[in-house]
């Protein structure tokens, strides 16, 4: 458990290296506000 920008965050060590360069952001759409992950490699 870590506190990042005032938010308590817990993550599995297995995913820590995958999301190291990912940013959680907010996007406003016609359906409302949603969280999005920026920088996530979506390649298959």
Residue range 4-19, pLDDT digits in tens: 778 888 888 888 777 7
* Nearest CA among 26, 22, 44 for reference residue 34: 26
**Residue in the block written with tokens 């016609």:** 30
C-alpha to C-alpha distance for 40 and 13, rounded to whole angstroms: 17
Q: What is the pLDDT of residue 43?
A: 64
pLDDT at 42 exceeding the cut of 60: yes
Better-scored residue on pLDDT, 30 or 21: 30
- What is the residue extent of each domain of the chain? 2-38
Cβ contact 19:11 at 8 Å: yes
């Amino acid at each position: 458990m870590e506190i990042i920008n005032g938010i308590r965050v817990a993550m599995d060590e297995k995913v820590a290296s995958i999301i190291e360069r990912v940013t959680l952001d907010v996007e406003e759409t016609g359906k409302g506000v949603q969280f999005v992950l920026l920088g996530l490699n979506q390649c298959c």
